């Protein structure tokens, strides 16, 4: 890794991703956050970056001249019962349209570097969690976005990875009485998966159960078949 941009870095997986990128030898880490932070390592530059704010996105794209890896990690997860349409739209704005806007803004740098996009998703993209339905809906849409980006950007040399996380010990799931992975372990598995070229990354024990049959499964086969239509 050389230059890495990670969104949502003030806590949880995002914070762990910054530390793991440094541990794995990143030359520079641009850390997007909504709050003012500092880091003792001079390789880290914090950027004021709300993924729903187009002006901040454009300012960040001008600041970061060279980029090898874009990690779309910033996310929103609120418990609700689908009674609040505005909340659904807010989830889509952060979890779907945010990564789309970031990718569009940084695409020139990524194409030049033949870099990688990493979309941090969730197993809820595959099977909805009814206790957080708006989150599940937005992550399902973001998974579809990831598949589309993968097919459309491949001719330009940009790799696109989908991270399908299970329960992680962060604010979102801390109160759930289920086994949870440590953010540090998840972050390590994410960057290891990117280095290995894995299109789908299963970074924790729960999501890892999907890995053995994924490459030959119906979802992956259908994705490849649909992508092939682009060149038909």
Q: What is the pLDDT of residue 46?
A: 95
Q: What is the pLDDT of residue 37?
A: 85
Q: Cα angle vertex 30, ends 27, 31, to 5°? A: 130
Q: 69: part of which helix (H) or strand (E)?
A: strand 69-72
Six token digits for residue 141? 């849409």
Catalytic positions, please? 135, 139
Q: What is the pLDDT of residue 2?
A: 93
Taking residue 126's Cβ as centre, other Cβ atoms within 10 Å add up to 15
Q: What is the pLDDT of residue 177?
A: 66
CA torsion 79-83-84-85 (nearest 10°) is 120
Q: What is the pLDDT of residue 172?
A: 66
Task: Report the alpha-carbon distance of residue 6 to residue 65 in Å, rounded.
Answer: 15
Asked if residue 202 lies in contact with residue 212, where contact means CB atoms within 8 angstroms, the answer is no
Residues of the chain where predicted confidence (pLDDT) is lower than 50: none
Output DSSP code: residue 80: -
For residue 144, which of 95, 107, 191 has the smallest C-alpha distance?
A: 95
Q: What is the pLDDT of residue 168?
A: 77
């Amino acid at each position: 890794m050389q230059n890495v941009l990670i969104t949502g870095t003030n806590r949880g997986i995002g914070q762990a991703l910054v530390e793991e990128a440094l541990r794995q030898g990143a030359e520079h880490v641009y850390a997007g956050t909504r709050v003012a932070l500092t880091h003792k390592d001079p390789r880290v530059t914090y950027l004021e970056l709300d993924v729903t704010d187009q002006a901040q996105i454009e300012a960040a794209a001008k600041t970061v001249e060279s980029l090898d890896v874009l990690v779309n990690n910033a996310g929103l997860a609120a418990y609700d019962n689908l009674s609040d349409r505005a909340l659904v739209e807010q989830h889509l704005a952060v979890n779907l349209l945010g990564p789309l806007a970031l990718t569009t803004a940084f695409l020139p740098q990524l194409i030049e570097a033949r870099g990688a996009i990493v979309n941090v998703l969730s197993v809820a993209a595959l099977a909805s969690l009814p206790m957080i339905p708006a989150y599940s809906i937005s992550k399902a849409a973001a998974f579809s976005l990831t598949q589309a980006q993968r097919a459309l950007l491949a001719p330009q040399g940009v790799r696109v990875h989908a991270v399908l996380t299970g329960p992680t010990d962060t604010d979102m799931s801390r109160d759930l009485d289920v086994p949870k992975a440590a953010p540090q372990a998840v972050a390590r598995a994410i960057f290891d998966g990117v280095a290995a070229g894995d299109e789908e990354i299963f970074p924790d024990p729960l999501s890892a159960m999907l890995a053995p049959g994924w490459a030959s499964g119906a979802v992956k086969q259908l994705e490849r078949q649909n992508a092939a239509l682009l060149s038909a």
